[in-house]
Structures are given as structure tokens and as C-alpha cells.
Amino acid sequence: MALAANSIISQNRTLNSLSFPLPKPKLATIHHHPKEPKLNLQFQVQPNNQSHLRTSPTSCVAVQSSDPTSSAATNSWSEFAKNVSGEWDGFGADFTTEGNPIELPENAVPEAYREWEVKVFDWQTQCPTLAQPEDNQVMFYKSIKLLPTVGCEADAATHYSIDVRNIGGVHNKVSAFAYQSTGCYVAFWPTGDYDAFEVEHCLINPQDKESRVRIIQVFRVQEQRIILDKFRVFCEQWYGPFRNGDQLGGCAIRDSGFAATDALKASEVIGVWQGPSAIASFTSSCEDFLRELLGDSVQKSIRDESNLILLPRQLWCSIKESEDGETMCEAGWLFDQGHAISSKCIFSGDAKLKEISLAQETAVSEGV
């Protein structure tokens, strides 16, 4: 049965979200689609007792040190675990590189919709997420797409696909992961194809920690140039502590499909923006694939309309190539008028990840 929203929210998020054991990780089960190529992982034991995890393609050799983390880093990860864990339900959609929504496949749309010639762009989604608060820094989530239903039929919800993602531990699938204690993170995911990868930007609303967006950019590398193929967007809200997807908001979900709604207006995001920025650096000789976003240096950004992909729900993406061959990809959310949160990845001329940053920005008036 669908749970009422108010009864779900009333549960204590901080205490209960960590009371469920981490289930045994398993490979993603995809229905109606051919299986994606498996990521080839190789472990090597080094003389200093560190385990090196190789992925291809990768911008940084994923290395998880056996040395204990510092107290500050442990506290930051524990806070991140509290804020990111739980049942995140909402809606998701795929978009072209021009920002146009992509219709759901015909075999996923109810016959009644097809008869009425109703176009369906949104999946109802679940994203049960659990991060262990201890200093081993392990996290996993399941991105679940549900088949659309006619009317309020939450009890009849059927999984269309389940994509399991693991960060850290022996089942690690990520080659770079940067996090902030707020629950925001950016992840670099190899896809199994040597010339393709995904960048996932998870942004928490600074004014509402139970509201977030995840923008997943799908890239391919062609002659050392990074090219955007498409992207997926998930708008999600927190509905309670982690229950491994057994809990579904159903008709009580405090949201609706968004893919066909109006896109962000360019005039609301172009211009000069400024605000504190936290940074994590990645190099070919880095010692950890998992980094905390640190610092509060002021970042100044100038955005113009030519590089923006404008999306519904006050979201945007951009990809730019500099004169020295570096590529910057960005995802942002205008969560209030004149206030935004954005994350950026900078890649070197040979398509290797150099830096991830997260900024909370304010529009700067002309002449300031």
C-alpha cells in the first residue's frame, strides 16, 4: 500500500536511516534492455599493503588506502552518510544534447496512453541509498525505474529496470568520487566501453535537505575530445530511512513528472556568478579515488547562452572546451531567484579527470 507522506516524513531521519544492514551488493538487473558490458576490475597487492583498483577508461587509478582516515575526514563522511542515506523517490527522464525530452519506449507505456495518443516522458523512480557511517567509506544505491500506470495504482507498481551502483569496498564500480558532508556528490562512472563514461552530479537543495536532483551526463571520447551524447535527470525527495526500495511513496509522492514542463530561461542564469567553492583534485598519481570536497575559496563564473543546455525544474548543463584543450562540464540548479548550486568537472587535453568542484553561487549585479 502507498504510504502517506506525512507519516513517512515524521520518522527520525538521522537515527533511523542507518539502522538497516547493508545488503549484499549484486549486479544490476536490467529488464527489456540488453545487459551493459561488465566493468573489468583488477586488484593488485602492493608492497605498502594498499589495494589498487584499475578501471578502464579512467582518469585516476582508483586506490583505497588501508591507512585509517583522519578524525575530521571520518566525521565528514559520517555526516555525508546521514544526509545521503534513505529512500529517495521521484521522477526521471532522458534528454537529448539540445535539452529535448525523450519519450519512453513503446513497450513501457500502457496501452490506454497509446490509444489516447498521450506522450509519456517521465519514469516514476526510486533510489534507495545507504552509506555506511564508519571510516571504511562504503556506499551503494539502486536506481529503479517503474512502469507507468494509469491512475493511482501504486500497489501495482512494476520494476522496468534496476541499476545497482557501488562506491568503495570490493564491489566498487566508480573510478572517482567527490563528496560533501551536505549529501552532495559527483561520481565518475566507466560504462564498460573504453571510449565512454558517465558523470553523475548529485545536488542537494541548500534550503531543503530533503530535496535533490541528480544529473547524469553520458560522454564518449573521440580523438581525445570529450563529446556529450545525452543525459538523464532525476528530481527526488526524501521519503524516509533506507528500506532497500520496499517503501514507495505512490500517490503520496509530493511531486509530478517534469520532462515536458517549461525549461529554465537563459536570462535567469547567464551573467556573472560568485560564491564559495569546495574542490577535490585528481591526478594520474592520486592515492585515493574517493575525495572530500574541501575549501571555501570564492569562485567567479561567467556564463553565456551559447554553451548552456536549459532544462526544466530550473536546471542547466554546459560543456566548454578551452584554448589549451581542457574540457569543463557543469551541472547546475537555480534553487531560488539569483541563487544557484553547481558542480564542475575539469578534464585535461587527453580526456583525464583533473578536478571536481562544488559551488553555491549568487548572481552578481552589473558594476559590482
Identify the CATH number of the domain in which residue 253 sits.
2.40.128.20
CA 153/CA 42 separation, integer angstroms: 45
Q: Contact, 311 vs 277, CB < 8 A?
A: no
Under the banding of pLDDT at 50, 70 and 90, the label for residue 112 is confident
CA 267, 271, 272, 273 torsion: positive or negative?
A: positive
Q: Is residue 329 part of a domain?
A: no
The answer on pLDDT for 213 being more than 50 is yes
**Per-residue pLDDT, 250:** 57
- Domain presence at residue 304: no
Residue 320 lies in a domain: no
Provide the residue count of the chain. 368
Q: Is the pLDDT of residue 26 over 80?
A: no
Asked if the structure places residue 18 within a domain, the reply is yes
pLDDT score recorded for residue 37? 34
Structural domain for 131, as ranges? 5-261
Sorting pLDDT into bands at 50, 70 and 90, what band is 152? low
**Cell digits for 148?**
507507468
- For 245-257, what is each residue's pLDDT tens digit? 886 655 666 788 9
Indicate left, alpha or beta for 183 from its phi (over 0: left) and psi (-120 to 50: alpha).
left
Residues 305 and 319: their CA atoms lie apart, in Å, by: 12
Q: How many domains does the chain have?
A: 1
Q: Per the domain annotation, does 239 fall within a domain?
A: yes
pLDDT, one tens digit per residue, over 270-315 is 999 999 999 999 976 545 789 999 998 998 999 999 889 999 999 9
90 domain-assigned: yes
358 within domain boundaries: no
Tell how many helices (H) and how many strands (E) occur in the chain: 4, 21
- Measured from the Cβ of residue 209, the count of other Cβ atoms closer than 10 Å reads 14
Q: Please check whether residue 193 lies inside any domain of the structure.
A: yes
Phi, psi values for residue 352, rounded to 5°: -105, 140
pTM for this model (two decimals): 0.80
165-169: Cβ within 8 A, 24+ apart = 165/140, 165/141, 165/189, 166/25, 166/138, 166/139, 166/140, 167/131, 167/137, 167/138, 167/139, 167/140, 167/290, 168/64, 168/136, 168/137, 168/138, 168/139, 168/290, 169/25, 169/136, 169/138
Query: Nearest to residue 174, comparing CAs of 164, 184, 182, 166?
Result: 166
Residues 6+ positions from 349 with CB-CB distance below 8 Å: 224, 324, 325, 326
